[in-house]
Each structure stands twice: as structure tokens, then as C-alpha cells.
């Protein structure tokens, strides 16, 4: 084997370098950057992978340090310095882990406050929160064995481009069930139904719901409101063709993450608007509820929550393709916060207080606007330490969040008369709001 053109660093130096990297990683997870834009995006990516995979990071870091120690890294002061930095980093990760365990208390409080004074609140009563350690260990949100999927069903062909959706159901389910439609994120320019929303649709399908995960046209080829029209087309598909695939056309809740939360909430707040339903104006596009993960709710940025100009450039150059100062009415129409009113359906909103991409202040403002305008339940959960995209991986935080979604949707389902619920859901998955209690008894 030919000699390397450069000498390998000693184990002591490697341990020092790794310890420094571990310390920076932990510091970023505990306090990520929110500006300038490019650095905030890098801070998000590093913090997201660290905070949602805390146990995995602790494991591989410990293994790396022990391996270097076995190679003699502690023979010099550099190695001891690296070990000290590593220990400090582990302390930071343990603090982040403790912070994520507070998620259950935050969710409990949010559900109780959101449903206060509503008769369906019984479905949001206190329960034993469960951390699914088995799923967390596998890192990726694999499909549950009790869920089956119909993939790539074409629901619309705007401009000749086929738009596809996947349908998730409990294995062996018969008849129709209440339906959850998920809209992926990705800044309106990227993203896929194959990589986002998987935890939500798999979990709720296992609870007896029919879940639909959709695609839509992306910018820069698409110009808003093309994206929203595609989401409305998916609602049309559920209403007109979904019954053959297990969808209840009369009970539909929409959900999404990031840009998908923007589109989902906008669809929920603009039912039956003809300008967003070209060629299918006759279809009823009302929904019975909306779930938003770390959404963008104000294109006009009326409260100046965005600390950097990259978001404005994204909208003006790629999504809206017009400057806000030239078309303020278009930005207002594209802002869910400007569409709230007494017609708003129930909302469940999640936002991380460490979100580097979508400011948490915007989530707070949207929740306040909904509560001020709508008599319906508004559940807003601000999760300590959570970054953007926190529910992509199975983690302590995301597995608890799925249970909150289950309870919220179960509460909405209780609004239906019991005889109607029993006709819709087969006996083994009846009353999704009660399923947690049934599992606990088993």
C-alpha cells in the first residue's frame, strides 16, 4: 500500500477535534442561529439532526471517544482537552433530552386549553403519554405492519402533468373511514409525499383513519396559487372518488408541514372560493379541521417576524413571481392569517420555539388571530427546543406529537352522532378518540 501524501492526525488531536465538533453541535442544538438566512439554514439542519436523534448521537459519540481512548488519545494534554469537550457536549445533549421530555406536559396543557368549553373535550382528557422507544431506535419512519398503502393514484392532470397521491389504511379495513389529507412541505419548491408526513399518515391509519398523502406542482414552474389549486383538487378527489378507496367524503381533515401547513391552512380557510377551484367550482371544499406543523402563515409579514430577506426573495422570485410592493393584495390573499374568520374550522398547530426557518412568533400570531375570530377549538402547542421539521424522524418529541394529533382528531370525530360514527368505522377501529384507552387496557 503506497504511503499517504499527508500524515494522519494523532488520536489525541482527533479527539480534540471531535470534542470541539461535539461541543459546537450541542451548543447549536440548545441555541440555534436564526439569522442571517444562510447561517440559519445551516443551523437548522445541524440542530434538527442533533435534537431529533439525540440518543443516536450520544451513542455514536461515546463509541468514537472510547475508540480513540483505546488508541492512546489520552497520552497527551490534547486528548484530555478533547475528552473534556466531549463530556461538556454530552451534558448539553442530556439537557436537550430532558427538554424534549417536557413535550408531553406542553401537549397536555395545549389540548386542555384548546378544547376548554367545548363538549367534545372529553376526547382530549388527560391520558398516559407513551414514548415509542422501538420506533425511535429505527431512525426512519418505516411503514407499520398494520397499515397498507395504495400508491401513486392520479388525482389531477393540470397542464398534462399527473399529480399523484397515496392512500394509507388499516390493513384489512372495510368500508369508509374519516379521512386525513396531508400536504408535504419544502418551501413550495421541493418536497415529496414519499418523504414527508409519513409518521402522521401511518399513525392515524393504524387508528382507523383513511389517510391521503398528496403531491402538488412546485415552483419555479408553478406560480401561486397553482399549489393551492392542486390541494383543492385533492379535496375534490376525496369528495368525488375517495369513497372507492375508503375515504369518508363527509368527514375530511387537512394537515401539512411548513409550506404544506401554509397550503393546508389556506385551503381550510378558503372553502368554495371559485378562483381557487377553476373548472370544479361546484365541488364543496370545506374541511372539518386542520393540523399545521411549523407553518408559514403570513406572506405579507405584517408583524415583521422574519429576521432575514431570503424568505422575501424566495416568494418574489420563485413562488409569487411578483414583488410585494407591486402586488400587496396578492400577498394578502396568500396569507392564511388574513383569511381567518368565524368560518374557520378547528385548528391544531404545532411550532418549535427553536425553529430557525419559520419564526415561532408567526405561529403564535396565527393562533391568536384564530382564537379572536373563530368560536371553534384552536389548540396551539409550542414545543420547547423543537426545530423545523421535528416530526420527520421518530423521536421522543414526534412520537408524543402523534398522540396529540390522534386525540385532537378523535375529539373532532366525537362531533358526529354515535350511530353515524359506528356506520363509518368498522368495530375494531371504532371511535378513534377512544383507541388510546382501549390499547392501554390491553
State phi, psi for 163 to the nearest 5 degrees: -105, 135
- Rounded Cα distance between 180 and 432, Å, is 12
Q: Tell me how many degrees the CA angle 379-273-263 measures, rounded to the nearest 5.
A: 45
The catalytic position among 206, 258, 356, 374 is 258
The catalytic position among 12, 262, 388, 395 is 388
- Rounded Cα distance between 390 and 379, Å, is 18
Q: Tell me how many degrees the CA angle 85-86-89 measures, rounded to the nearest 5.
A: 90
Residue 258 designated active-site: yes
Q: Which three cell numbers stand for residue 48?
A: 434538527
Contact 346, 290 (CB under 8 A): yes
The catalytic position among 86, 265, 355, 374 is 355
Consecutive H or E run containing 314: helix 310-314
The residues assigned a catalytic role are: 258, 355, 388
Amino acid at each position: 500500500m503506497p504511503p499517504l501524501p499527508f500524515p494522519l492526525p494523532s488520536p489525541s488531536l482527533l479527539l480534540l477535534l471531535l470534542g470541539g465538533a461535539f461541543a459546537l453541535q450541542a451548543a447549536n442544538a440548545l441555541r440555534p442561529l436564526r439569522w442571517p438566512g444562510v447561517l440559519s439554514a445551516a443551523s437548522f439542519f445541524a440542530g434538527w439532526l442533533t435534537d431529533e436523534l439525540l440518543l443516536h448521537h450520544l451513542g455514536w459519540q461515546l463509541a468514537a471517544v472510547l475508540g480513540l481512548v483505546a488508541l492512546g488519545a489520552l497520552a497527551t494534554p490534547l486528548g484530555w482537552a478533547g475528552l473534556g469537550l466531549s463530556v461538556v457536549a454530552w451534558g448539553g445533549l442530556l439537557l436537550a433530552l430532558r427538554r424534549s421530555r417536557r413535550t408531553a406536559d406542553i401537549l397536555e396543557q395545549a389540548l386542555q386549553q384548546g378544547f376548554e368549553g367545548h363538549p367534545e373535550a372529553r376526547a382530549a382528557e388527560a391520558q398516559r403519554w407513551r414514548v415509542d422507544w422501538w420506533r425511535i431506535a429505527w431512525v426512519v419512519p418505516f411503514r407499520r405492519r398494520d397499515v397498507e398503502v395504495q400508491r401513486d393514484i392520479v388525482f389531477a392532470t393540470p397542464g398534462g402533468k399527473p399529480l399523484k397521491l397515496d392512500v394509507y389504511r388499516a390493513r384489512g379495513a372495510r368500508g369508509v373511514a374519516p379521512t386525513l389529507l396531508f400536504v408535504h412541505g419544502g418551501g413550495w419548491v421541493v418536497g415529496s409525499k414519499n418523504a414527508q408526513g409519513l409518521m402522521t399518515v401511518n399513525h392515524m391509519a393504524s387508528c382507523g383513519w383513511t389517510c391521503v398523502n398528496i403531491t402538488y406542482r412546485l415552483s419555479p414552474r408553478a406560480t401561486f396559487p397553482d399549489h393551492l389549486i392542486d390541494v383543492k383538487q385533492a379535496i375534490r378527489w376525496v369528495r368525488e372518488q375517495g369513497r372507492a378507496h375508503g375515504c369518508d367524503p363527509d368527514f375530511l381533515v387537512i394537515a401539512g408541514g411548513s409550506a404544506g401547513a401554509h397550503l393546508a391552512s389556506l385551503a381550510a380557510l378558503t372553502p368554495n372560493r371559485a378562483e381557487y377551484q377553476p373548472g370544479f367550482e361546484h365541488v364543496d371544499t370545506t374541511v372539518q379541521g386542520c393540523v399545521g406543523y411549523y407553518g408559514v402563515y403570513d406572506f405579507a409579514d405584517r408583524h415583521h417576524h422574519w429576521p432575514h430577506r431570503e424568505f422575501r426573495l424566495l416568494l418574489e422570485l420563485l413562488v409569487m413571481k411578483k414583488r410585494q410592493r407591486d402586488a400587496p393584495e396578492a400577498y394578502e390573499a396568500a396569507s392564511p392569517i388574513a383569511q381567518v374568520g368565524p368560518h374557520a374550522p378547528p385548528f391544531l398547530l404545532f411550532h418549535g420555539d427553536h425553529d430557525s426557518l419559520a419564526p415561532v412568533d408567526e405561529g403564535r400570531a396565527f393562533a391568536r388571530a384564530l382564537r379572536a375570530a373563530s368560536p371553534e377549538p384552536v389548540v396551539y402547542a409550542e414545543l420547547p427546543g423543537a426545530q423545523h421539521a421535528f416530526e420527520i424522524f421518530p423521536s421522543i418529541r414526534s412520537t408524543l406529537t402523534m398522540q396529540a394529533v390522534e386525540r385532537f382528531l378523535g375529539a373532532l370525530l366525537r362531533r358526529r352522532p354515535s350511530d353515524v360514527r359506528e356506520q363509518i368505522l368498522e368495530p375494531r377501529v371504532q371511535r378513534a378518540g377512544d383507541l388510546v384507552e382501549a390499547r392501554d387496557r390491553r
